[in-house]
Amino acid sequence: MTTPAPHLLCILDGVGLGRPDEANAVHLARTPHLDRLFATAPWVALAAHGRAVGMPSDADMGNSEVGHNAMGAGRIIDQGAKLVEEALASGQLAAGPAWGAVVGAARSGTLHLIGLLSDGNVHSHIDHTLQLLALAAAAGVPRLRVHALTDGRDVEARSAPRFAAQLEAALAALRAAGVDAAVACGGGRMHITMDRYEADWAMVARGWATHVHGQGRRFASLEQAISTLYAEDPAVDDQWLPAFVIGDFDGIHDGDAVVLTNFRGDRAIELSAAFVAGPGFTAFDRGRCPRVTFAGMMQYDGDRALPPRFLVAPPVIDDTVGARLAAAGLPSLALSETQKFGHVTYFFNGNRSEPLPGEARVELPSDNLPFNQAPRMQAAQITAAAVAGVAAGGHPHIRLNLANGDMVGHTGDLAASIVAVEEVDACVGALEAACRAAGVVLLITADHGNCEEMAQRDKKSGAAQRGPDGALVPSPSHSLNPVPLILVDPTGRWALADPPARALWPTPAPVGSVARIGGTLLQLAGLPVPAGWLPGLLRGLD
C-alpha cells in the first residue's frame, strides 16, 4: 500500500456525451464549470452500456444499477438481463426448484405474472414474460393472468400499445390452445407498484390494491384501457397511467402463485416484501393478504434474502472497491438523495445493503412529486454535505451521486432538464473549489447517458425527430452514449493513462468500460489493482 491520495468520485447520473443540438439538455444548459473543465482538464470517454457493463448486447442501454455495480466491482459482471436470458435459453430456469414450486401451486389455482411490460431491458424484458407464459402452459398451468405495468421511461413515452399488442397476441394463442390466459390489471410504473428505497410506500399500496384486490377502473381489454387513458389526458405518458382492471378480474387468492418478472432489484423489493412478510408488516395496510407461492425473477436483496424464492440466481459481486477500502482501514463516505442513495451504497458495494466497516453514509429525502416540477432536487444539499466532508477530512474516499440528469431526464421535459443540468453544473463548481482547497483529487463521471438525448433520433442520420406539430418527439429513456471521466488533480501527482480527449464532438471513442473507475479508485487509495480487474485510468507522476 502506497500513500493514499484523498479523492472524491462525483457521479453525474444520466449525463452522457452526445450530439450538441436542440435535443441535448447538457449542450443547451449554461454550464460554465463543466465547459471550463472539458476545455482545460484531462478527460476521456467511457462506455456505459451494452457488453461494457455486462448487458446481453450492445443494443442494450446501460442503467444506474449496472453502472454503479461496474464502478464498484472494477470489472464487467454479467447482469440480470443477461443471466435471465441465459437461464431461459438453457432450460436452467424451467428445471429449477423455484419454478417447480410456482407451477406446482398454480396447477390448482392461478399463476399471476406481475412486471414491467417493456423491452427496455433495464428492469425487465417482455420476451421473458412471454417465455414464462409458454413455459407455464407447457407445464399444465390452466389459468394465467398478467399484471402489466406500463413503462414510458426506459422506452418511448407512449409505447405501451406496441407491447400490449405483443402480449395480447401471445395470450390469444394460449387461449386457442385451451389455456385460460388474460390480462388482469395494470397501470403506470411511477403511479403503482415500482417505488424504490421506501421513498413512497403509497405507490406500492396502490399497486397492492390493484394486483391483489382487483381495485381500479375497469376496461374490456388492455388496449382499450391504454387508448382511453391516452385520449382522456393527452399529456399523460405510460409512466403515470392510472391503475386499471381488465374484465372481471377480482384479485389474487389463497393458493395462487405469483411471479414478479422484473429482474432488477431496486424497484422490486417493496412489492416482494409486501407478499412475503408476515403479520408484522406495517408499511401500509394490506387488508386481505392471500397465502400464495411467491417468487421473484431474481433475489432482489441478498442481505435480507428477499424474496426467499427466486427463479434465477443474481450476479455474485464480491471483492469490491468498498471491501478493499474497508480491509485496508480506509474510511469512506457515500452521499446521495433517496432516489440514488441505494446506487452509491447497495449497488456500488456489490448488492450489499449493510454499511461496510468504516463506511459513513448521508441520505437526503427526495421529493415525492414529478421531478420536472422540482428539477433542482436535493443536489445543492448533497453537495454542501460533501463539501463539508472534504473540508473536515477523515475520509480518504468520498463518493456522491447527483441524480438530476437522470430523474428529470426521465420525465421527457427538455426545459426542466436544462434547469437540472445547470444545477448540477453549479454543484460541480462547488465541489471543484472544495477539492482544490483541500488537495483532494476529483473524478467527475456518469453511470450512463440520458439528458443529453431528450428526443428520439433518426437511426441513420442521428437527427432529432419532430412530430407533425413540429415539436421534438420526447425520449425519456437512457441513451447508448458514452460518459466522461474528468480528472481534477490539485496535487499534481496523477495523469491519465490514456491520451486525453480533445473535443466533445464528434464524441470521442471510449477508452474502455466505466468499470475501469474501480481500479482508478484503488490507485488513488494506494492499493494494488487485483488480477481480473480492468486497469485503472491513471498513471502516477511521482
Which H or E element spans position 486?
Answer: strand 483-488
Q: What is the DSSP string of 140-190?
A: T--EEEEEEEE-SSSS-TT-HHHHHHHHHHHHHHHHHTT-EEEEEEEEETT
Which H or E element spans position 418?
Answer: helix 414-438
Which H or E element spans position 310?
Answer: strand 310-312
- Residue spans of alpha helices (H) in 182-287: 201-211, 222-232, 269-276
Assigned C-alpha cell, 322: 468498498
Catalytic residues: 64
How many other CB atoms are there within 10 angstroms of residue 529's CB atom? Answer: 18
Give dist(CA 264, CA 268) in Å, integer. 7
Assigned C-alpha cell, 477: 429513456
Q: What is the DSSP string of 74-113?
A: SS----HHHHHHHHHHHTHHHHSHHHHHHHHHHTTS-EEE
Half-sphere exposure of 88 (CA within 13 A, CB side): 21
How many other CB atoms are there within 10 angstroms of residue 485's CB atom? Answer: 27
- CA dihedral of 128, 412, 45, 480, whole degrees rounded to 10: 30
Residue at grid coordinates 461496474: 70
Which H or E element spans position 257?
Answer: strand 257-260
Q: Which of 405, 477, 507, 408 is nearest to 21 (CA)?
A: 507
Give dist(CA 361, CA 366) in Å, integer. 16
Q: Are 208 and 284 in contact (CB under 8 A)?
A: yes
Give dist(CA 484, CA 507) in Å, integer. 10
